Amino acid sequence: MNTRIIYALALTLTSCWAHAVEGDPQPSVMWEYFHQRLLDNADFVFDEAVKVSVPPFAEDARQVPIEVDARALPGKVERVMIWAELNPIPQVLTLYPSAELEKFLAVRIRVEQATPIRAALLMDDGIWHVGSARVEAAGGGCSAPSVVRAQEGWEDHLGEIFGARFKAGDNSRLRLSVSHPMDNGLVDSIPEFYVNQAELRDRSGAVLARIDLFSAVSENPTLTLGIKGHPETQLWLRDNNGNEFTADIP
Amino acid sequence: MRCLLIFLCSSILSFSAWADYQLTPKKIAENTWLLEGSTENFNFENGGNIVNAAFIVTDTGVVVIDTGPSLAYGKALRAAIATVTDKPVIQVLLTHHHPDHVLGNQAFADVPIAALAGSKQLLQEQGNHMAENMYRVVGDWMRGTEVLLPSQLVEAGVLTIGGHPLQLLSLTGHTGADLVILDQRTGVLFAGDLVFYQRALATPNTPGLAAWLADIDTLEKLPWTLIVPGHGPLASDAQPFVQMRDYLTWLDSALREAAQTGMDMNQVLRLPIPERFAQVSLTRYELIRTVSHLYPLYEKQQWQRLDQD
Ligand SMILES: [Zn+2]
């Protein structure tokens, strides 16, 4: 609770003094901070070819869908970072894709208040290409009690993975959801307990994508990935308590 | 410091914008009066008056159907009733627990306020949160408003008050506990939010669109002469049912097809809305909300268990 108040205070003070950078489609006083902290002050460009979609408002601040579509962006992606700028836990995920992945992904996150959402793609030219969107929210998504934990016997379902592969022309959409409370440490003194690593592998075990996840991701994380062709794949997950979960995606 | 000042100033400004609901009862049938709200969304201008409330002046007193979005609305409703009759208010019936229908209850604290058991429970669970939300979206209009739970429970059956046999139906489509009232003397059907007309339907508590569609069939078969929707204009023909069935069917199949083709939520909430619903207000807004409420259920139907168990 205290950390949240301090955080809010810091945010208010920063917004009095700091200022947004020019050319930012979602002007935010926090951009410079994240540019330094997450992108290591590296070269970047706000790029319309990185389309970030969110609903205009969060009907459920605990489950806000984010879609990143950069299929119009040429070149090879080295890394993708997504964050919610004004969240107490800003980072959503970092994706290290292989060439087998399409430049498309979707995930659901918690937001605590109205915030810019950023997706930054580090391309093989060494430049971060940044897409932005803004979601309005009445707030409370990060500090709301868990829906999963309110269900009797939720532990028995921990790590159950549901999903399917859908054909999208020459490519596929993988849609995956895992039963997990994704505790972020901000609610009812429940310590952090969340899935923090994922790998998508082909049938031989070769890694097609590695993902670091953060607890801004909603409980029962839902992930959509675009993949080339129509391959069978495997999903491997691990949470910060060391539980591992795997699934075959036919 | 400047931020703090701006914050204080804007707060003071928003709290000084007090206005009047200016409720004018319209006679729609023998002894029956309607207070028609707008088909807009909640905002600072309308104070949440987006809802239809009604009252019946029976031989023994006035029956009020829904109390509106705030204490101020409830008081204004009571004053409006007094402009057309000297009879006392003797009964309040709540169609369901949503804030725009029940937050005027305090103005009727001296009268039995009846609802379905399910509505009382939902109001108990969700009322405070919904009221807070209303303060946020309509501001000072809500001053003094608190949740007042129903003091009486009703079930399906006929409740006769002052020469008006009121047929009560206990349905589920909109919230899981939806009271519909058919006045068998006048044929006026108070449909509550099972019927939105010319205004997109809202889904936060629906048990599912199939249940809602079934309720529309039930309602249409009743011997009604006039339909009072929960939101939108009065109708003496079946158009509200036709529109509801068309819209619910479209919504259900759009969500199912989206899940079948593997769409994620953002794609779904961008889906084109058929031209024939152009005169229905707030369709995009409500679609965005519905995707959040219902799409996960449609997704689950298309997914399999994939972990090695
Ligand atoms: Zn309602």
Say which residue the tokens 């129903």 belong to: B150
Q: Is the pLDDT of residue A10 over 80?
A: no
Instruction: Supply the pLDDT for residue B97.
Output: 96
| Sheet architecture: strand order including A161-168 | A51-53, A64-69, A101-109, A222-228, A171-178, A161-168, B304-305
Chain B positions touching A177 (Cβ under 8 A) are 299, 303
Query: Counting beta carbons within 10 angstroms of the beta carbon of residue B27, is it exposed (0 to 12), middle (13 to 18) or buried (19 or more)?
Result: exposed
Query: Counting beta carbons within 10 angstroms of the beta carbon of residue B114, is it exposed (0 to 12), middle (13 to 18) or buried (19 or more)?
Result: buried
Indicate the number of domains in chain B: 1
Look at A15-19, A36-40, A110-114, B57-61 and tell me which has the smallest mean pLDDT. Answer: A15-19
CB A175 within 8 Å of CB A96: no
Q: What is the spatial distance between Cα B30 and Cα B24, in angstroms, rounded to a whole number? A: 17
Say yes or no: B133 contacts chain A, CB-CB below 8 A: yes
Distance A1 CA to ligand 1 centre (A): 34
Look at A73-77, A147-151, B14-18, B284-288 and tell me which has the smallest mean pLDDT. Answer: B14-18
Instruction: Name the pLDDT band for A174 (thresholds 50, 70, 90).
Output: very high
CB A245 within 8 Å of CB A210: no
Check: pTM over 0.80? Answer yes or no.
yes
Pick the residue of A11, A108, A111, A161 with the most B CBs within 10 A to test the interface with B by mutation.
Answer: A161
Q: Which CATH number belongs to the domain containing residue B87 in this structure?
A: 3.60.15.10
Facing A56 at nearest CB: one of B288, B291, B302: B288
Facing A63 at nearest CB: one of B3, B269, B292: B292
In a domain, B280, yes or no: no
Half-sphere exposure of B185 (CA within 13 A, CB side): 17
Chain A positions touching B309 (Cβ under 8 A) are 160
Interchain pair B306, A108: CB under 8 A? no
Interchain pair B3, A173: CB under 8 A? no
Chain B positions touching A168 (Cβ under 8 A) are 261-262
CB A171 within 8 Å of CB A102: yes
CB A52 within 8 Å of CB A3: no
* Residues ≥6 apart with Cβ < 8 Å to B6: none
Closest CA to B18 of B42, B38, B45: B45
- H/E/C letters for each residue in chain A? CHHHHHHHHHHHHHHHHCCCCCCCCCCCCCHHHHHHHCCCCCCEEECCCCEEECCCECCCCCCEEEEEECCCCCCCEEEEEEEECCCCCCEEEEEEECCCEEEEEEEEECCCCCEEEEEEEEECCCCEEEEEEEEECCCCCCCCCCCCCCCCCHHHHCCCEEEEEEEECCEEEEEEEECCCCECCCCCCCCCECEEEEEEEECCCCEEEEEEECCCECCCCEEEEEEECCCCEEEEEEECCCCEEEEEEC
ipTM of the predicted assembly exceeds 0.85: yes
Interchain pair B306, A224: CB under 8 A? no
In a domain, B73, yes or no: yes
Q: For B308, name the nearest residue in chain A, comparing CA atoms only.
A: A247
Write out the residue range of the structural domain in which residue B50 sits: 15-202+215-236
Interchain pair A161, B307: CB under 8 A? yes
Pick the residue of B43, B126, B265, B293 with the most A CBs within 10 A to test the interface with A by mutation.
Answer: B265
User: Average pLDDT, whole number, for chain A?
Assistant: 91
Q: Is the pLDDT of residue A141 over 80?
A: no
Distance B219 CA to ligand 1 centre (A): 17
Interchain pair A235, B306: CB under 8 A? yes
Chain B positions touching A235 (Cβ under 8 A) are 306
Chain B positions touching A139 (Cβ under 8 A) are none
Q: Cα distance from A42 to chain B (closest Cα, Å)?
A: 30
Higher pLDDT, A4 or A219: A219
In a domain, B74, yes or no: yes
CB A88 within 8 Å of CB A106: no
- H/E/C letters for each residue in A59-124? CCCCCEEEEEECCCCCCCEEEEEEEECCCCCCEEEEEEECCCEEEEEEEEECCCCCEEEEEEEEEC
Instruction: Supply the pLDDT for residue B106.
Output: 97
Distance B204 CA to ligand 1 centre (A): 9
Q: Is the pLDDT of residue A180 over 60?
A: yes
Give the tens place of pLDDT for each residue, B152-201: 999 999 999 999 999 999 999 999 999 999 999 999 999 999 999 999 99
In a domain, B7, yes or no: no
User: Average pLDDT, whole number, for chain B?
Assistant: 92
Q: Cα distance from B232 to chain A (closest Cα, Å)?
A: 23
Chain A positions touching B205 (Cβ under 8 A) are none
Distance A229 CA to ligand 1 centre (A): 46
User: A-contacting residues of B 242-301, CB under 8 Å?
Assistant: 261-262, 264-267, 269-270, 288-289, 291-293, 296, 299-300
Pick the residue of B137, B266, B290 with the most A CBs within 10 A to test the interface with A by mutation.
Answer: B266
Q: Is the pLDDT of residue B15 over 90?
A: no
Facing B266 at nearest CB: one of A53, A60, A161: A53
Distance B65 CA to ligand 1 centre (A): 13
Say yes or no: B129 contacts chain A, CB-CB below 8 A: no
Topology given in CATH for the domain delimited by A49-249: Immunoglobulin-like (2.60.40)
Question: Is the Cα dihedral B65, B289, A59, B259 positive or negative?
Answer: positive
CB B58 within 8 Å of CB B52: no
Interval A105-122 mean pLDDT: 96
Q: A238 phi and psi, to 5 degrees?
A: -140, 140
CB B270 within 8 Å of CB B189: no
Q: Which amino acid is at A96?
A: Y
CB B29 within 8 Å of CB B236: no
Facing A59 at nearest CB: one of B136, B270, B288: B288
In a domain, B258, yes or no: no
Chain A positions touching B296 (Cβ under 8 A) are 63, 222
Instruction: Supply the pLDDT for residue A88.
Output: 93
Instruction: Supply the pLDDT for residue B200.
Output: 95
Closest CA to A50 of A66, A29, A30, A28: A66
Interchain pair A249, B306: CB under 8 A? yes
